[in-house]
Amino acid sequence: MAYDIRLKNVVKVFSSGKHKGVVAVDNVSLDIEDGEFFALLGPSGCGKTTTLRMIAGFEQPTEGSILIRDEPMEHVPPFHRPVNTVFQDYALFPHMTVLQNIMFGLKMEGLSGDAAKQRAYEALELVRLPEVANRRPSQMSGGQQQRVALARALVKRPAVLLLDEPLGALDLKLRKQMQYELKSMQQQVGITFIYVTHDQEEAMTMADRIAVMSEGRVLQVGSPRDIYEQPQSRFVADFIGETNFISGTLESHDNGVGHVRLAQDTVVDVQMPKNFSLSSGAVTIPIRPERIGLLPNGNDSPFHNMEDITILTGHLLDSQYIGTDTRYTVKIPGDNEIVVRIQNVDYLETVDFEIGQEVQVFWSLKSTHVLDH
């Protein structure tokens, strides 16, 4: 596999005068593949921008190394690195036309005249804005300006494009449209994108792989499906989408299936992650609300005879209608409260549940695993 970018044990400490340093990036190692759309995702302050700035060369790592296409970057200044950066504030030159803005970078490289103009028009074509070449930034919408900023970065044909929350200033509808366009543009040009965002939905929509960061560390790297279906920590499970955390005690496990006691008379089966740290003891079962089914108690469950289905009896505590689905809060054994989301569809018979009524919740073994805390 060809790696475009490798970070090996990268640490960044910011120290200011006599104050103790801030560890912005804490021992981060990443391998980003050629042509990949890679997202750095995490809450504000977790070290995303600092990581990106070190790749770009605007900051030096305190420890560790960064390689681009197998070449160590330690002594390579930003303008000699095969990367280009797009920031949240588009930073276009206000006194120049769009075309001049895009050609500016090429001029720095010694390319001008018709050849530069042609490259600039190709870049505008790529961001689907060929008609604005002679406008000034102030004569365009935010979305258009951001596309021009992209064109300006793409025109230099970098091996890697670094994007720092590039859609953050746009309204929701435009952001969604740009997400889609950016993704198809990236597939079209085939260059590696490293995309920083704090918006989990944005990362899920666009990225081939996501690195979830918290407090300077990378907690998990994986495809959107891995991250959503097999979060390896409470933080990741909680940060991406909605999750129930059911607590219990792992009693034993065999053939990749763990047996977790929730209460005196209730043991449920869960998938065991490979290399799980515990063979018994207190664990948490994370389970997504939409992976749980709900029926009135006493109904013949359609799954009674199926293996790999857990069925528990509980009490309905609350229900909230939210349009696309209804969220039910159910108390289940072991003093656990879980949220169940049932989609509101017309093609199935709907059940009217009453608060306080006895219900059955059920889920498939496939939807479960365990965390060690």
Ligand X SMILES: Nc1ncnc2c1ncn2[C@@H]1O[C@H](COP(=O)(O)OP(=O)(O)O)[C@@H](O)[C@H]1O
Q: Which of 13, 22, 67, 267 binds ligand X (CB under 6 A)?
A: 22
Q: Is 84 in the site for Mg ion (CB under 5 A)?
A: no
Q: Which of 5, 28, 46, 127 binds ligand X (CB under 6 A)?
A: 46
CB of 219 to Mg ion, least distance (A): 17
Q: Is 49 in the site for Mg ion (CB under 5 A)?
A: yes
- 116 vs 153, beta carbon nearer Mg ion: 153
Torsion sign over Cα 183, 185, 190, 192: negative
Q: Which of 45, 78, 142, 222 binds ligand X (CB under 6 A)?
A: 45
Cα dist. 62→43, 70, 72, 80, 162 in Å?
A: 23, 20, 15, 21, 21
Q: Alpha helix locations (H) across 158-230?
A: 172-189, 200-206, 224-229
Total of chain residues touching Mg ion, rule CB under 5 A: 1
If contact means CB under 5 to 8 A according to the sort of partner, which of ligand X, Mg ion, none does residue 35 touch? Answer: none
**Which long-range contacts link 120-126 to residues 24+ away (Cβ below 8 Å)?**
120/151, 120/155, 122/155, 123/151, 123/152, 123/154, 123/155, 124/98, 124/99, 124/148, 124/151, 126/151, 126/154, 126/185, 126/188, 126/189
Q: Which two tokens stand for residue 95?
A: 């006194």
Q: Which of 17, 19, 20, 44 binds ligand X (CB under 6 A)?
A: 44
If contact means CB under 5 to 8 A according to the sort of partner, which of Mg ion, ligand X, none does residue 22 touch? Answer: ligand X
CA 113 to CA 103: how far, in whole Å? 9
Q: Is 48 in the site for ligand X (CB under 6 A)?
A: yes
Edge-first strand listing for the sheet containing 3-14: 22-33, 3-14, 63-68, 71-72
Q: Which of 49, 145, 329, 360 binds ligand X (CB under 6 A)?
A: 49
If contact means CB under 5 to 8 A according to the sort of partner, which of Mg ion, ligand X, none does residue 246 touch? Answer: none
CA 145 to CA 257: how far, in whole Å? 53
CB of 29 to ligand X, least distance (A): 17
Q: Which of 32, 47, 200, 212 binds ligand X (CB under 6 A)?
A: 47
Q: Which two tokens stand for residue 136?
A: 């000034």
Cα dist. 211→16, 24, 122 in Å?
A: 29, 16, 32
Q: Is 14 in the site for ligand X (CB under 6 A)?
A: yes
- From the list 37-45, 94-102, 294-302, 365-373, the region that binds ligand X by CB under 6 A is 37-45
Q: What is the gyration radius of the CA atoms in the chain, in angstroms?
A: 25
- From the list 14-22, 48-56, 226-234, 260-268, the region that binds Mg ion by CB under 5 A is 48-56
Q: Which of 10, 24, 30, 227 binds ligand X (CB under 6 A)?
A: 24
**How many residues in the chain?**
373
- 49 vs 244, beta carbon nearer Mg ion: 49
Binding site for Mg ion (CB under 5 A): 49
Binding site for ligand X (CB under 6 A): 14, 22, 24, 42, 44-50
